[in-house]
Amino acid sequence: MHQLYINTIGCQMNVYDSDQIERALAPNGFARTDQLEEADLVIVNTCAIRAKAEQKAFSFVGRLAQLKQRKPGLIVGVGGCVAQQEGEKILARAPQVDLVFGPKAIPRLARLVERVRAKRLRVVDIEDSDGIEELDLSSGFRDDGQVARFVTVMQGCDNFCTYCVVPYVRGREASRHPDKILEEIRVLADGGVREVTLLGQNVNSYGRKENLGTFAELLARVNRIDGLARIRFTTSHPKDLSDGLIDAFGRLDKLCPHIHLPVQSGSDRVLKRMNRKYTRAVYLDRIARLRHVRPDMAITTDFIVGFPGETEEDFEETLGLLETVKFDGVFAFMYSDRSVAPASGFEGKIDEAQKKERLQRLLQQQEVFTLSSNRALIGCEQEVLVEGFSTRPGLAEENVSPRQWSGRTPGNKIVNFNPDPDCAGGDAVHPGLLVGVRIEKAYSHSLWGRPVRVEEEPGGYKGDTCHAA
């Protein structure tokens, strides 16, 4: 057996790709380890979305030079978006790297690694073919006890937002065949996975090019998979979030009432320069419709602050949007120049100190809304899918046992709770079970409560989740 260490940087799609890398290399006798020192093959799965992520990848690759000196047989591979973007240049920059491969090369990875190993060659594969080459899934997946997993349903992006590298490094949109997706999720569900998050840069356009049916139709089919309890998806683009997809939230019992709908800015002027193809009013209309269909819908978003040319007035419109929507949670980033993306040539660059100041103002303002959306659940019973033990030390006031269970609500909020002898079945809690938890405390990043009912295996959860409308 050879040891494979993967360092995953970036988004959920990279988390999924790292699992695929593990699967692709299993037939070559590689098994994943979390001990870097023990590895025979180290792969860095990189992200190019912002300069910081790219720097993180290169600094890790830098550290591997020392490891390779101590362990000359070590193979070092660089995959993901930076690999796709930089290609050969990585070999020139980092002599310790043996292999550079883009996201689309994962199905060919076993052969690439063999070439490096047998011939001691340095290999680059960043071929950007159209469509999707499926990985042979016969090696199955390693059951590592995770009950919630990601499944990529489409790759690439055709939207060309002016700040973004994705269309350049992940190529044009291409969707996987629904039969392949369903087959993969069935295998996961049979192995004990209860929740899947379907991934794509823009899931709303799933299947459009290839005539594979709509995303709402795909969701309806996933909803029928036995054993699976929950479905999520990410990411949606507001410009083509269809009524059909919104209605799916009211129709499909396993589809969780949570949507991540990146808005990026509250200013129409900035949205236009970002090439987002929607206005603030259109965005607000989509939010209203989502809340009409599911009043308990949790809504999260992404913002970029300090986009070239963003004025104080533009930024205040963004702050105004926070007030209007009252998101459940927000991810905010300082604009980062990416040389392949058109915005890197735009005028009106904002200096770092100003970007930082705007970021802080935005996060500070949002903190109030995040906390109040969490507080609104106090007193409610929430259905929690138990994922494992909490990594957060219990607070003294909670009088907690050293090990608390941790999981998520349908709205994707983290809930920690103690084993409770007064709760029927409470002593039989384990990852993968749905537990009704009465929420007693709310913090900025999590909730805390007491279990009041536990799903009877293998039956479904029959709790009466209450919602903060």
278 binds ligand 5AD (CB under 6 A): no
Minimum CB separation of residue 83 from ligand SF4 in Å reads: 18
Which of 164/386 has CB closer to ligand SF4? 164
Candidates 147, 164, 231, 321; binder of ligand 5AD (CB under 6 A) is 164
**Beta carbon nearer to ligand SF4, 333 or 443:** 333
- Quote the Cα angle for 234-282-329, to 5°: 45
- Looking from the CA of 8 toward its CB, the CA atoms found within 13 Å total 16
Residue 201 in contact with ligand SF4, rule: CB under 6 A: yes
Q: How far apart are CA 260 and CA 290, in angstroms?
A: 12
In angstroms, what is the minimal distance from the CB of 265 to ligand 5AD?
A: 10
Reference 416, options 402, 366, 467; nearest CA is 402
| Beta carbon nearer to ligand 5AD, 45 or 264 | 264
The residue with tokens 């042979």 is 136
Q: How many residues bind ligand SF4 (CB under 6 A)?
A: 10
**Do residues 290 and 297 lie in contact, with contact meaning Cβ atoms separated by under 8 Å?**
yes
202 binds ligand SF4 (CB under 6 A): yes
Task: Please pick, from the candidates 155, 197, 234, 336, the single residue that binds ligand 5AD as defined by CB under 6 A.
Answer: 336
Does position 280 interact with ligand 5AD (CB under 6 A)? The reply is no
Which of ligand SF4, ligand 5AD, none binds 50 (CB below 5-8 Å, type-dependent)? ligand 5AD
315 binds, among ligand 5AD, ligand SF4, none (CB under 5 to 8 A by kind): none
The footprint of ligand 5AD on this chain (CB under 6 A) covers a number of residues equal to 12
> Which of 60, 333 has the CB closer to ligand 5AD?
333
Q: Phi first, then psi: give them for residue 285, nearest 5 degrees.
A: -65, -40
Cα torsion angle, 147, 148, 154, 155, sign: negative
From the list ligand 5AD, ligand SF4, none, partner contacted by residue 201 (C-beta under 5 to 8 A by kind): ligand SF4
Residue 304, interface with ligand 5AD (CB under 6 A)? yes
| Binding test (CB under 6 A) with ligand SF4, winner from 24, 166, 255, 442 | 166
Burial letters 69-92, b for 16+ CB under 10 A, else e? eeeeebbbbbbbbbbbbbbeebbe
Start-end of H helices in 43-192: 51-70, 80-86, 88-93, 109-119, 166-169, 178-190
> By C-beta, is 147 or 304 nearer to ligand 5AD?
304
- How far apart CA 383 and CA 243 sit, in angstroms, is 27
168 part of the interface to ligand 5AD, by CB under 6 A: no
Residue 333 or 369: the one with the smaller Cβ distance to ligand 5AD is 333
The nearest distance, CB 165 to ligand SF4, in angstroms, is 7
DSSP assignments along 63-90, one per residue: HHHHHHHH-TT-EEEEEHHHHHHHTHHH
Q: Determine, following the binding rule CB under 6 A, whether residue 302 of this chain makes contact with ligand 5AD.
A: yes
Which member of 49, 91, 113, 185 binds ligand 5AD (CB under 6 A)? 49
Q: Which of 150, 335, 405, 448 binds ligand 5AD (CB under 6 A)?
A: 335
What does the alpha-carbon distance between residue 130 and residue 191 come to, in Å, rounded to a whole number?
Answer: 32
Question: How many angstroms from the chain centroid is the CA of residue 294?
Answer: 23
Cis peptide before 235 (omega within 30 of 0): yes
Q: How far is CA 263 from CA 46, 241, 294, 344, 373, in A?
A: 25, 12, 20, 20, 19
Phi/psi of residue 451, nearest 5 degrees: -70, 135
Residue 123 CA to residue 246 CA, distance in Å, equals: 45
| One residue of 42, 161, 199, 245 binding ligand SF4 per CB under 6 A | 161
First-to-last alpha carbon distance for the chain, in angstroms, is 53
- When asked if residue 26 is in the footprint of ligand SF4 (CB under 6 A), the reply is no
CB nearer to ligand 5AD: pick between 61 and 304: 304
Enter the tokens of residue 425. 């079945």
Of 48, 100, 164, 434, the residue at the interface with ligand SF4 (CB under 6 A) is: 164
- The whole-angstrom distance between residue 108's C-alpha and the CA centroid of its chain comes to 24
Q: Is 262 in the site for ligand 5AD (CB under 6 A)?
A: yes
* Piece of the chain touching ligand SF4 by CB under 6 A; list 111-119, 163-171, 206-214, 364-372: 163-171
φ/ψ region of 223 (left if φ > 0, alpha if ψ in -120 to 50, else beta) reads alpha
Tell which positions 119-158 bind ligand SF4, by CB under 6 A: 157
Say whether residue 273 binds ligand 5AD (CB under 6 A). Answer: no
For the beta sheet containing 148-152, the strands, ordered from the edge strand earlier in sequence to the opposite edge, are: 148-152, 195-199, 230-234
- Of the pair 42, 49, the CB lying nearest ligand 5AD is at 49
Considering the rule CB under 6 A, would residue 234 count as an interface residue with ligand SF4?
Answer: no
Q: Is 156 in the site for ligand 5AD (CB under 6 A)?
A: no
Rounded least distance, CB 250 to ligand 5AD, Å:
26
The answer to whether residues 261 and 301 touch, using CB atoms and an 8 Å cutoff, is yes
Cα–Cα distance, 359 to 307 (Å, whole number): 12
Q: Which residues pair with 301 in a beta bridge?
A: 330
Residues in touch with ligand SF4 (CB under 6 A): 157, 159-161, 164, 166-167, 201-202, 237
Residues in touch with ligand 5AD (CB under 6 A): 49-50, 163-164, 262, 264, 302, 304, 333, 335-336, 338
